[in-house]
Amino acid sequence: MALSFNPRLVRGVSRCHAIVTAKMALAASCRDFSAAEKSTVIVNLNDNTGVATIQLNRPPVNSLNLQLLTDIKIALDKLQMKKDCRGMILTSSSPGIFCAGLDFMEMHNPQEGRAREFWRSLQEVWKMLYGSRLATIAAINGHSPAGGCLLSLTCDYRVMAQGKFMIGLNETLLGMVAPFWFQDTMTNTIGHREAEKALQLGLLYSGENALNVGLIDELVPPEKVMQTAQVQMQTWLKIPDLARRLTKEQMRGPTLQKFVQRQNEDVDQIMKFIMDSATQRSLGIYLNTLKHKQLTSV
Ligand SMILES: CCCCCCCCCCCCC/C=C/C(=O)SCCNC(=O)CCNC(=O)[C@H](O)C(C)(C)COP(=O)(O)OP(=O)(O)OC[C@H]1O[C@@H](n2cnc3c(N)ncnc32)[C@H](O)[C@@H]1OP(=O)(O)O
């Protein structure tokens, strides 16, 4: 697959306890997170409200590598198995950066087996989040390009910090095509016409413009992002869980079913793209410019 790289572009807790101290069962599972090596997520569960927080904790930019994706999946798995857990807020431990998207280092001259595992992990995290039984809110406390935007789009509600932060699926600016399920998630959120523009132009939206097109639901001062997410979560939790969950399943089911049907084909296509020598040349050039980048928004 050919890749056209444009170097001008780019750049784009109440009893609540830290990771593991929540309830006994969760405490045990959380110990698992940090047993072998430092976890790249911080998980809290408020015993009183049933609301969990997952903080992406891979400084400096929370780029999604295999470990971070695996840690998110493990955390979600464990939270979803806990009956008392009804909601989850996804945020970052690094104010100013929610998530910089996929970790380019996972795609730069990778071993094919590792790259496949990486892509499958991304697919699994998307599928789990998009179909989660939990009420989910993204507390976007910083930049959220590409895969970062995708993560937030899986949630039921998005609160973003005011400031010079950008959010959007900017893949085309990098000479990449956002996979169909990235596109579907965007279209389901902002509608077909706006998604057409956003995806083809690789638009990175300012908070104000993201609010205008419905990409985010609230824009608040940075210090109010978590509080706003927690207050909004109470609204979602007033709805009987089963009714809310079945409605979500009906709304998102067709997108998830289409994804499952084409999941393997998607892995094969991406592998072909990543393993292509022209892609690797472009990525090498891009990685050099990444240090001197500047994101510009609409
Ligand atoms: C031409 C590319 C071709 C790639 C082809 C590969 C195949 C791909 C297959 C198809 C995939 C399609 C879907 C893709 C989805 C994605 O998510 S791709 C990732 C897109 N993300 C971005 O473009 C964001 C890039 N980063 C930034 O714009 C900025 O870093 C920031 C998020 C705005 C933060 O800025 P700032 O606070 O100024 O920090 P920096 O100094 O820029 O960064 C700190 C260090 O982190 C490194 N880094 C940043 N982003 C990434 C990343 N995504 N992956 C890996 N590393 C990253 C950055 O280089 C800095 O490193 P050091 O200089 O070593 O400190």
Residue 104 sits in a domain of what CATH number?
3.90.226.10
Residues lower than pLDDT 50 in the chain: 1-36
Q: Is 275 in the pocket of ligand 1 (CB under 6 A)?
A: no
In this prediction, residue 294 carries a pLDDT of 65
8 Å CB contact between 197 and 203 = yes
Q: Which of 68, 79, 102, 150 is catalytic?
A: 102
- Residue-wise pLDDT for 246-280, tens only, equals 999 999 999 999 999 999 999 999 999 999 999 99
Query: How many C-beta atoms surround the C-beta of residue 103 within 10 A?
Result: 20
Report the alpha-carbon distance of residue 89 to residue 54 in Å, rounded: 6
Structural domain count, the chain: 1
Q: Is 147 in the pocket of ligand 1 (CB under 6 A)?
A: yes
Residue nearest (by alpha carbon) to ligand 1 atom 12 = 178
Report the alpha-carbon distance of residue 30 to residue 19 in Å, rounded: 6
Q: Which of 45, 170, 174, 203 is catalytic?
A: 170
Inside any domain, residue 193: yes
Domain housing 178: 24-290
Inside any domain, residue 297: no
Inside any domain, residue 11: no
Inside any domain, residue 7: no
In this prediction, residue 293 carries a pLDDT of 66
Inside any domain, residue 199: yes
Residue nearest (by alpha carbon) to ligand 1 atom 50 = 100
* Lookup result for tokens 């979602």: 236
- Ligand 1 centre distance from Cα of residue 174 (Å): 10
Inside any domain, residue 203: yes
User: Is 171 a residue of the active site?
Assistant: yes
Helix axes 112-130, 180-190, angle to 10 degrees: 20
User: Is 170 a residue of the active site?
Assistant: yes
Tell me the CA distances in angstroms from 74 to 19, 60, 94, 249, one per residue in order.
13, 22, 21, 22
Hey, is 62 helix, strand or coil? coil
Inside any domain, residue 17: no
Q: Is 152 in the pocket of ligand 1 (CB under 6 A)?
A: no
8 Å CB contact between 280 and 108 = yes
- Ligand 1 centre distance from Cα of residue 16 (Å): 33
Report the alpha-carbon distance of residue 77 to residue 80 in Å, rounded: 5
Q: Is 172 in the pocket of ligand 1 (CB under 6 A)?
A: no
Report the alpha-carbon distance of residue 125 to residue 41 in Å, rounded: 14
Inside any domain, residue 217: yes
In this prediction, residue 37 carries a pLDDT of 62
